Amino acid sequence: MGAYLELLPSLFYSAWLRLRLPYQRTRLGRSWLSLSTLLSLVVLGIVYGQLTKVADWRSYACYLSLGLLSWNLLAGSIASSCDLLQRVRPQLLNQELMPGYYVLEQWITQLFIFLQASLGIGLALALAQPSIFQSLIAGGWLGLLNLWLGCLWLSLLITPLSVRWPDIVPLVPVALQLSFLASPILYYSSSLGKLAWLSNLNPLFQWVRLARQAWIGSMDWGLQALVLVGQIILVLILLPWLDRQRWALIERL
């Protein structure tokens, strides 16, 4: 782990370059991340708000924004982990960096995307629900930290598994899409009626729930602290476990 602390400046810099690269020829640059997310929220909010007959649009805007931002980070981290080692195979062969370095780089890139997308949404939420920032200080930061750590250890787990079992790669997009549609991210769980219990069967949605409940004032300190400790332990176990498999994974690529 000490080696990764020394590599932190390199990790952040390379992740920052990866964030800038797709938008370097555009006029608005990285602002497209905020604009595209905001546009998605407006369209989806109007459609699902009308379908579910939302009464309080301000609260719904906060609920929808936090849910979609959290899900995009979680789904993006998982999807990008499936073929990560295939994409960096030349670097693995020609450099001494361990697989964990590339997972951390990809994870930090996803965090940058999340933060950039949140800028525009944050300004809109400040007008619709000013108390959201009070909730962030009061405990929302812990829900956010748990979401970030969940993305990290899931990436550390999925990256080697997708090399050993290539069928995971086409399966993940389908599973993510079904999980998204079946979870109360764009709508309240009460809209599912008697099927509301289905959301509890979706393990991925639990990170969205933890992050969103902490932000909207339904903070459970005991549960959040327990999840935090458990996820830190998982990261500390999975990172060296992944690095020990370097040559075994390269042979399978």
Give me the pLDDT at residue 42, please: 86
Over the stretch 123-148, which tens digit does the pLDDT of each residue have? 777 776 777 777 777 777 888 899 99
The alpha carbon of residue 179 and the mean position of all alpha carbons in its chain are separated, in whole angstroms, by 14
Report the predicted TM-score, pTM, of the whole model to 2 decimal places: 0.89
Residue matched to tokens 């899900």: 71
Give me the pLDDT at residue 137, please: 75
Which letter, b or e, does each residue of 132-157 get, where b requires 16 or more Cβ atoms within 10 Å of its Cβ? Answer: beebbeebbebbbbbbbbbbbbbbbb
Tokens, residue 182: 């079946």
Tokens, residue 36: 């595209």
| Alpha carbon distance 127, 38 (integer Å) | 14
pLDDT below 50 — which residues of the chain?
A: none
Give me the pLDDT at residue 62, please: 84
Give me the pLDDT at residue 75, please: 94
Give me the pLDDT at residue 217, please: 65
Residues 6+ apart with CB under 8 A from 135: 214, 215, 216, 217, 219
Extents of the domains making up the chain: 30-252
Torsion over CA of 106, 107, 109 and 112, rounded to 10 degrees? 180
Contact between 59 and 135 under an 8 Å Cβ cutoff? The reply is no
| Alpha carbon distance 23, 27 (integer Å) | 8
Residue matched to tokens 């042979």: 251
Give me the pLDDT at residue 213, please: 83
Strands (E) in 61-182, as ranges, are none
Give me the pLDDT at residue 1, please: 65
